[in-house]
Amino acid sequence: MPARLLIALLPLLLAACTDLGHLKKEALAGTPTPRLLTLRETNALAHAWRKSGFASNIDGYSIEFQNSHPNLPSLTQLIRGNEIRTRLPHQSNSIGIPTLAGSGPPQWVSVRLTPHAHQLTLQPATFVARQIAPDKLRIELHDPRVSSTLGGRPLARADRLLFDYVKREQAESLLSLRGLLSPSDYANRRGFYLSTPYDRSKTPVVFIHGLASSPLAFREIISHLQRDPALWKRYQFWFYFYPTGEPWLNSAGAFRRDLTELITAIDPDSNDSHLHDMVLVAHSMGGLISRASVSLNSTALYQSYFQRDLQNLRLTTPQKNRLAELLLYKPIPWPRRIIFLSTPHQGSRLAEGPLEWVARQVIRTPGRILEGTLLTTELLASGEPGILTSDAFTLLRNGQVSVSQLDPNNPAIKSLQKMPLRADVTTHSIIGDLGGPRHRLGTDGVVPYTSAHLPDAKSELIIRSHHGTTNKHDTAVEVARILRSAP
């Protein structure tokens, strides 16, 4: 049988090996107990136990279950790693098999915390099985992120397993593209996704993806961070998903609103100091969302679109409130640190010309910077000349999508340069360069160095990379360094 065909059939072959009778025969023949089950036996037991509904007796064996996973209050789902990936990382001398274990409703990936926040119910786990008597088996579930070894031997693990599962089950590979092309259809998926239950003893690290992307972009970084037990003990990881076809000012407003809603729900008494030490790790357009959300706004944004005070506009109170939320907001108080990855602080020239024209044709969203106030504002502008700036007239005529708001001449980009960050926010930059740090070309192919550079950043690292710096090992190492060094 060809090797490739054998590898492809391996999960099916393992799934078929569910007869546990050979264990008793071996024990009766004199196999000493207790003993660790072999890899094949462990896979067979995991399959049979799940099929039985996690019964306490299987094929004449009593099952003793020991749950040592701190983020798994109960067990309702169990997915073996080889059911998700045919090739798992080779780990010599390791114990158990990598799995995903769930504590929520069967077949659910997450449970809702707020209308725009969810907690993932599936957790990476190592399934360890022992035969402790001729007719008795012990099953243990461990979290390899908490402790990487058991009895001096490494626990089997596959750090990208959850990302692989979500990509397969939720068609996540298409989600990022559809979120760009038809953002209104994906607005209901917008929000925060907590990788573990909220923990008041840990500082949140929030990952915010860029244009035509999704939280999957951070799998290299997360895989690296969760292999360090010290970082896992100190931090909890959250992801923010948003449909990237929306203008980033809209997404920034949604981000502030969703974060405020989440923190109000999980910390109603405002006594969790770890929330104020929050770290944002933001790629590309996600960096603009982050920066705008912690910047002192004053009236820079509003005046780039309107030439008359908000209170003097003939709009309803809800319409005025919506405009204020988008253009006259106060910065959110929580993030203490932001790690910018390839962020176009001063825009990107690729957002001009043909690319912007194409984006306007294929992204199915109206000009929504004013959202519900758009029609009313257009009527005001036609009846009262002088209310809108020339940029606002362009907006009403052509509409804006996310790509057009990355133009260096866009009023949102220009206004951002006039808005200082909160004084207590520390920033770091990781910048890609196609030539690398020694033979710099001054661009990652999308964002030039002059746009990604922040003069006041506490640290700046240039790595050899295209614009997708999130999937580079050097980026993961630098993010880990920054998190370790944070006070």
CATH architecture designation of domain 171-296+331-365+401-485: 3-Layer(aba) Sandwich (3.40)
Share above pLDDT 70 across residues of the chain, in percent, rounded to a whole number:
80
Lowest mean pLDDT among 12-26, 27-41, 85-99, 435-449: 12-26
Q: pLDDT band for position 371 (50/70/90)?
A: very low
pLDDT at 171 (0 to 100): 56
Q: State the Cα–Cα distance between residues 124 and 101, nearest whole angstrom.
A: 6
pLDDT at 33 over 80: no
pLDDT at 348 over 60: yes
pLDDT at 461 (0 to 100): 98
| Residue 346 · residue 407 · CB < 8 Å | no
Spatial neighbors of 238 by CB under 8 A, at least 6 apart, are: 192, 193, 194, 195, 204, 205, 206, 207
pLDDT at 479 over 50: yes
Extents of the domains making up the chain: 11-106+126-148, 171-296+331-365+401-485
Angle, vertex CA 402, rays to CA 397 and CA 404, nearest 5: 50
pLDDT at 454 (0 to 100): 97
pLDDT at 28 (0 to 100): 43
Lowest mean pLDDT among 100-109, 255-264, 334-343, 380-389: 380-389
pLDDT at 366 over 50: no
Q: What value does the mean pLDDT of the chain take? A: 84
> How buried is residue 422: exposed, middle or buried, by Cβ count under 10 Å (0-12/13-18/19+)?
middle
User: Which H helix or E strand runs over 5?
Assistant: helix 3-16
**pTM to 2 decimals?**
0.87
pLDDT at 248 (0 to 100): 87
Q: pLDDT band for position 384 (50/70/90)?
A: low
pLDDT at 369 over 60: no
Classify the phi-psi angles of 407: left when phi > 0, otherwise alpha if psi is within -120 to 50, otherwise beta: beta
Q: State the Cα–Cα distance between residues 381 and 358, nearest whole angstrom.
A: 28
pLDDT at 24 (0 to 100): 57
Mean pLDDT of 146-165: 92
Q: pLDDT band for position 13 (50/70/90)?
A: very low
Share above pLDDT 90 across residues of the chain, in percent, rounded to a whole number:
59
pLDDT at 297 (0 to 100): 81
pLDDT at 219 over 60: yes
pLDDT at 367 over 70: no
- Residues 288-347: pLDDT tens digits? 999 999 999 878 988 988 888 888 877 778 878 888 888 899 999 999 999 999 999 999
